[in-house]
Structure 1
Amino acid sequence: MGIDLLATQNNKKMVNTHLPFPKHLTDKCLFISADQLKNKLDSLDKQDLLTFDLRPADVRVQPFFENSVPILLPTTLMKRKSFTFDRVLATLNDSDRKRTLEKLAQNNVNILIFDSPPILNTNHVSMPCHEFSKKLLFSKYNFDNLWILTENISEIQERSPTWFTESENPKCKKQSKFDLKISSMLNNPNEKLYCRTESNSDNLSYYIDAVTKREQQHFQNEKSCLNFQKEYEKYILPNSQTIIDKLIPKWFQMSVLKPKVDIVSQFQRIEELEKKRLVRIMNKGNNSKTYRRSRHHSGNFKSRPLVIKTHRRSYSQPEPTISINRRMWLNSMENDDEDEKDALSVSSYIGFGFKNRFKNIFPYEHSRVKLKGNGVSTSVNDYINANYLCLPNLSEFSSYGNEITQKSSFNYNKENLNVRYIATQAPMKSTVGDFLSCILDNAIPLIVSLTDSTENGIEKCYTFWKDMSFEDKKVIVLEQYNLQFSETQKSNFIRIRKIKVVSNTGPLKKHTFIQIQLTNWADFGSSINPLELIQSINFKNAYLQRLVKRGYFKKGERPTILVHCTAGCGRTGTWCSVDAILSNLENFEFLFQEFQEERLAADVLYDPVSWTINIFRKQRVSIVQTVNQFIFIYDCLVTYFICVLKNYFEAYPMTSLLDEIFQSS
């Protein structure tokens, strides 16, 4: 759930929650009415006023108080004493943060704070205003005056209209849920993209309630284009259609130019489907640890995204297989196959919450990873907050696609390798032993880490990539590298390590794996370049292809890699979804051709992006948590195809880095 949306929901809950302002701080600030503020504004230069807007995002309507800085924080952070004013500033985008620091550096700036609930007196202060004011007053910054408005900001408009504008300042405009600004990294590789990621909520009921509220959000600027669409029009459409058809699948050409509201509504539908699953779990009070295979019924295929058969295997995720006689599976997701209500369970999560980072992120029983490294099969020892993710083997459709592909000129990049993922939370100090056991049990050749150890002073991941001993295991960091974008440019944010784990127990005593870490894709507004995500996927493909050639995997075996962020859902799901889509471009194109042959395109929406996320969400909750991340997937795909058109990947191969890694083996 994005921080801005969570803040909106939490602030709504706090409308009627007021607290007395601390008496020892009342002499350091002034509670002022609209008339009093007008008098001060009349004699004040705009450069001498810094304004913080604490209102929820959904009540910010025209006109806007000029140059106000929006503060969007969930209650849990706003109330946390350790979350200081400096950490609040770290959640802002670059423009807002820079402008705020510049004004605070003046030392004589006046600060105005306002919220949506009226403040009657010092004993009747809204929760956000109460907590934010204290953080500001206890900060290291000096300022002349701190004013807290006791009336709605709209009361000032008639009195001081020159302080208002019809639109938010484009230089400091906050990124709203439906108005992302994704820059072209090809023109400026150092440009930043702000993504909202995981946030904590209290329990399963709270999570379902949050999903329900998200459904009630109104779409904004429905007719405007998303930035990735502008990038597509700028860099791809000028090429000849022959070249475009050769390098970009037809289904994506059609998907990327859909109206903005159609794209975003698909994410809303994914949210609705997950909410229904969670509600079913709660209503059933499911205490069973079994996963019942759903019955297959005949009927209208339009309500069936895919038919999946599962086969239980000890300590492993069942490999999905497709029922060939029902291959019309990519559709509009009108229903989550009401005839096949999977009996999902989260029973293990209930008993072992102390092993979870977040109370609302729980592993489904049917797909959870079970530890076996210590040779103990009890549930306490086999539990880890992790799930297997994989798409069905779509290549089974190749026999149909061979005939159809003659009608398509798309040239698939066969370097993309289909894998099975283990999506998991970042290890804590108390669970790092389980994390290492998971690596050993599954003989993981590659770990993708999408978080740094700390972000804004808050621990996000226990540093397992250092020399250490933990119980019966020992970790040794053998080598460290930086991924190279070009012959002269190395990324400071993509780090690669070769790590060895030695264990005294379990069947695998020694194991060496590679970790690739993206350190700048952080919670609460830190940035990531889409090209960095694509390059990390390219490294994954190149490295695993080397292992395939060396006979590391059994014939026909699908490699398993481990991916984690902090909660193992938002950033993890985004990375896995982009990788899975790129790895199945050819299969999706085959099925699209079949889709057209059956004349279904006019009736239902062919959308492999939403379908992939929905399949993953049936295996782990909250995969791709926010609409920002959902749109970022499209941004990454557009970036990938732009790079293909420019031969970017061929110009800067990773051959030398891989040679170095394997030579040190």
Structure 2
Amino acid sequence: MNQIPSIVADGVPVRSPPSSSTTAHGLSLNTSSAFPTYPVKSPIGMGIALSPSCKSHPTTLPDNVLTVDATNVDDLSVYTSGSSDVLVIDVRPFNLYSASRLKTARNICIPSTLLKRSSYDMAHVINSSALPPETKNRLLKFIPTKILVYDASSTKGQLSTSLLQTLNKFLKYDCFSVAFLNGGLQSVDSRFVDTKATTPMRSPISPQTPNSAVMSNSELMQNGTESLSLPSDATFLSGFSLPSATASNQKMLMSIKKNLPRLDTSTNYNHELRLPSKFAEKMHKLPKWLMFLADGYGSEDYNKSIINKLSEKFNKLEKSEQLRLSMAINNYDKQSLSTMQKSPSHVHDSPEGYCTPSTLCPYCDEITYTIPKGIEYGDKNRYNNIWPYEHSRVCLVSSPCSAKKENADDYFNANYIHYEKLSRTKYIATQNPLEATNEDFWNTVWYNGVKGIVCLNNPSLISPRTYYDSDSYFSKGDLAVEIRHKQKYDGFTFREIEMTKHQTTKKTVYHFAYSDWPDFGTPDNFHTVFNMMQIKNDKVKSLSEQKPPSSKIPQAWDLLVHCSAGCGRTGCYITLDMVIDCFENHSDGALDPWGDIDLVYKSIQFQRQQRISMVQNLEQFIYCYESILNYVVEKLV
């Protein structure tokens, strides 16, 4: 995910090398290298809940982090005073935070897999939290702030991974005075600890509160997504506590969406729209479906108003997807749906309803959603919560020369996506191949007649050796993959690849590796993406006569697109490619690109009917509109 260039302003001073006399704005802090051993207070008497899974390791504390003694009453009084220029961050899981916490502390518990990514920067941490809007604005505008971070028991020489990684997100900026609590919450005097219970957090897709009974499948269907809503102060990446009686199918649903944005993001998301330079003079020429971006332009709350509108659109997509996933996990079919409340009023009749004649909800479309193979063949998935829907899954094609097996493994984590109302281009969306699935990947390219491969992985975030860096040979299918030509462009690298089967049959495929698109995030530059698309179009068009080698797949699939999981960045790229193709190569029967129907929304809604989490978060959703807006203003009006 993860630069947010529109939020992180250019020119913000990078933290200077620390001086030996650094202090916390006059605070008396213990910065010596040796610390006394503090008596550990009873967690029962203190009301402190210790995490059984807290992982801490001998770690050198960064020199520019201030150390606050957990037993120093004067220092703790400053940080717990409630001053607007002080932020206290509790990085423990929410169930521990809800039981006891330092007074005035806010919970920011981010999965360590995200924190470890250098591209998941401070802005992402802030937008992933339930901090008050005024606190978010203060941090994102780089207003000087004293920040204290703590966990249960970390000391200067023994820091937990989550605490250290959270500290590092703020250390880049001179405007923040960053400190950590030596000894953690367990060493703090009880007068500074708040043990008043807080409202338990729920997973973004949990249909129940921790004290409620497990909902039946029929109740879930009857209640629809109303039962999936979150409290307004909920955080969509923070830790949460699961009730012990949670049904297995609900745990699976939580697993799929636990690291994705919560639903109600409209009031807490900070983003500065990236408008084209000539927007003011050309906005009256926009297509009808983009005219909402001109509403209130120039007013003080214009940016916030547009972000709220986009948030509402994204929320509808999320609600629809959560219902779709619950249907897939519970293996609902149309017959079982007919015995339930198939058309709940909140889906169709309320102002928040997300089913329309042009974008049907999962209750009304003609698709049966299941994911059995994705669970069965878990070792072939890059992630344990991204599985392909069965109705659109790409199946491996066996070589005619191979021995036939009744139960042959045809599993590949990929889905077909072809939306003729927007574009004639036929896509395959998939994950970045594992070492164990490299041959499956190239066989999919071969048998589906793929002409172009778009790789959106940042090479620095994946293994040093990528599948496209060198020639390959797969003896099982007697398939050779050879790189014939390589050329670097601004933001991406082009490769011409020749594939040879049985040393006789050959085909060409063009590979485009875009290097500047962070995981969970968006590119800084619109134009490098547009340029890659144009070159891709020209190259792929030259292979229009190339056909699939097997009658099992009668028509070629033009483009295989992947990132890491094959949903977030992949969905963004396919959305842009579809919508731009609709403008440039409009065909009879296709949607009118200048009409009322929102093409970005339609594209993403259709993609999500074929594969989980296409366009994964609100930031990526906004980026799709920003990109198309910039394209239309600069190229078409």
Q: Hey, what's the Cα distance between the residues in 2 that align with 1:357 and 1:537? A: 27
1:516 aligned onto 2:512: yes
* Aligned residue in 2 for 1:406: none
Q: Hey, what's the Cα distance between the residues in 2 that align with 1:514 and 1:420? A: 15
Give the drift of 1:284: 2.9
What amino acid sits opposite 1:281 in the alignment? A
Give the drift of 1:516: 0.6
Q: Hey, what's the Cα distance between the residues in 1 that align with 2:328 and 2:57? A: 49
Q: Hey, what's the Cα distance between the residues in 2 that align with 1:373 and 1:21? A: 47
1:466 aligned onto 2:466: no
1:610 aligned onto 2:598: no
Q: Which runs of 5+ in 1 are unaligned?
A: 5-14, 43-48, 60-64, 79-86, 98-109, 157-195, 197-202, 306-328, 395-416, 484-490, 597-605, 647-665
- 1:107-159: CA deviation from partner (whole Å, max 9, x where unpaired): xxx994236xxx5xx49x9xx97433577999xx9x9986356399xx99xxx
Find 2:415's aligned residue among 387, 400, 405: 387
What TM-score, normalized by structure 2, do the two folds share?
Answer: 0.59
Find 1:131's aligned residue among 161, 175, 181: 161
1:251 aligned onto 2:289: yes
Find 1:576's aligned residue among 561, 574, 577: 574
What amino acid sits opposite 1:384 in the alignment? F
What amino acid sits opposite 1:382 in the alignment? D
Q: Does structure 2 retain, via aligned residues, the 8 Å contact 1:498–1:514?
A: yes
Q: Hey, what's the Cα distance between the residues in 2 that align with 1:503 and 1:93? A: 48
Q: Does structure 2 retain, via aligned residues, the 8 Å contact 1:225–1:259?
A: no
What amino acid sits opposite 2:275 in the alignment? E
1:209 aligned onto 2:254: yes
Q: Does structure 2 retain, via aligned residues, the 8 Å contact 1:428–1:462?
A: no
* Aligned residue in 2 for 1:283: 330
Q: Which runs of 5+ in 2 are unaligned?
A: 5-47, 62-66, 81-85, 98-102, 127-145, 172-177, 193-236, 238-247, 296-304, 349-354, 549-553
- 1:283-321: CA deviation from partner (whole Å, max 9, x where unpaired): 2378xxxx99x99xxx99x9999xxxxxxxxxxxxxxxx
SS in 1 for 2:635: helix
- 1:68-114: CA deviation from partner (whole Å, max 9, x where unpaired): 99976315567xxxxxxxx46553259999xxxxxxxxxxxx99423
Give the drift of 1:528: 4.1
Q: Does structure 1 retain, via aligned residues, the 8 Å contact 2:456–2:514?
A: yes
* Aligned residue in 1 for 2:229: none
Q: Does structure 2 retain, via aligned residues, the 8 Å contact 1:3–1:73?
A: no
Q: Does structure 1 retain, via aligned residues, the 8 Å contact 2:510–2:540?
A: no
Q: Hey, what's the Cα distance between the residues in 2 that align with 1:641 and 1:439? A: 33
* Aligned residue in 1 for 2:120: 91
Find 1:441's aligned residue among 436, 440, 447: 447
Q: How many residues align?
A: 463
* Aligned residue in 2 for 1:500: 498
SS in 1 for 2:414: strand
- 1:357-386: CA deviation from partner (whole Å, max 9, x where unpaired): 112111122211122252356554422111
Distance 1:148 1:636, change over 3 A: farther
Q: Hey, what's the Cα distance between the residues in 2 that align with 1:497 and 1:52? A: 47
Give the drift of 1:437: 0.4
Matches within 5 A, 1:520-535: 520-523=516-519, 527-535=523-531
* Aligned residue in 2 for 1:114: 150
- 1:323-364: CA deviation from partner (whole Å, max 9, x where unpaired): xxxxxx97574x616344522222222322111111211112
Q: Hey, what's the Cα distance between the residues in 1 that align with 2:396 and 2:580? A: 30
Q: Does structure 2 retain, via aligned residues, the 8 Å contact 1:19–1:130?
A: no
Matches within 5 A, 1:495-644: 495-504=493-502, 509-523=505-519, 527-548=523-544, 551-552=545-546, 560-585=558-583, 586=586, 591=591, 606-644=597-635
Distance 1:499 1:467, change over 3 A: same
What amino acid sits opposite 2:161 in the alignment? E
Q: Does structure 2 retain, via aligned residues, the 8 Å contact 1:251–1:589?
A: no
What amino acid sits opposite 2:498 in the alignment? K
1:237 aligned onto 2:266: no
Q: Which structure dedicates a bigger proportion of its chain to helix?
A: 1
User: Identity across aligned pairs (percent)?
Assistant: 23
What TM-score, normalized by structure 1, do the two folds share?
Answer: 0.57
- 1:591-639: CA deviation from partner (whole Å, max 9, x where unpaired): 569977xxxxxxxxx4222221111111111111111111110111122
- 1:236-286: CA deviation from partner (whole Å, max 9, x where unpaired): 231485xx3xxx433223456474322211111111111112211222378
Distance 1:461 1:388, change over 3 A: farther
What amino acid sits opposite 1:469 in the alignment? Y
What amino acid sits opposite 2:531 in the alignment? Q
What amino acid sits opposite 2:472 in the alignment? M
* Aligned residue in 2 for 1:351: 376
Q: Hey, what's the Cα distance between the residues in 1 that align with 2:179 and 2:346? A: 63
Matches within 5 A, 1:636-655: 636-644=627-635
What amino acid sits opposite 1:357 in the alignment? R
Give the drift of 1:51: 8.7
1:420 aligned onto 2:423: no
Q: Hey, what's the Cα distance between the residues in 1 that align with 2:560 and 2:326? A: 29
Q: Does structure 1 retain, via aligned residues, the 8 Å contact 2:383–2:565?
A: yes
Give the drift of 1:470: 2.8
Q: Hey, what's the Cα distance between the residues in 1 that align with 2:409 and 2:54? A: 49
- Larger RCO (CA within 8 A; separation ≥ 6): 1
Distance 1:236 1:450, change over 3 A: same
Q: Hey, what's the Cα distance between the residues in 1 that align with 2:87 and 2:262? A: 33
* Aligned residue in 1 for 2:307: 260
Q: Does structure 2 retain, via aligned residues, the 8 Å contact 1:331–1:607?
A: no
* Aligned residue in 2 for 1:192: none
What amino acid sits opposite 2:578 in the alignment? A
Q: Does structure 2 retain, via aligned residues, the 8 Å contact 1:473–1:504?
A: yes
Give the drift of 1:572: 0.6
Q: Hey, what's the Cα distance between the residues in 1 that align with 2:53 and 2:271? A: 44
Q: Does structure 2 retain, via aligned residues, the 8 Å contact 1:33–1:149?
A: no
- 1:16-52: CA deviation from partner (whole Å, max 9, x where unpaired): 652598999699976515734258989xxxxxx9997
Q: Hey, what's the Cα distance between the residues in 1 that align with 2:51 and 2:515? A: 39
Q: Hey, what's the Cα distance between the residues in 1 that align with 2:567 and 2:87? A: 37
Q: Hey, what's the Cα distance between the residues in 1 that align with 2:72 and 2:368? A: 57
Q: Hey, what's the Cα distance between the residues in 2 that align with 1:24 and 1:355? A: 32
Q: Hey, what's the Cα distance between the residues in 1 that align with 2:512 and 2:626? A: 21
Matches within 5 A, 1:71-90: 73-75=110-112, 87=116
Q: Hey, what's the Cα distance between the residues in 1 that align with 2:529 and 2:486? A: 19
Q: Hey, what's the Cα distance between the residues in 1 that align with 2:466 and 2:519? A: 16
Distance 1:380 1:623, change over 3 A: farther
Distance 1:427 1:20, change over 3 A: closer
Q: Does structure 2 retain, via aligned residues, the 8 Å contact 1:32–1:149?
A: yes
Q: Does structure 2 retain, via aligned residues, the 8 Å contact 1:371–1:438?
A: yes
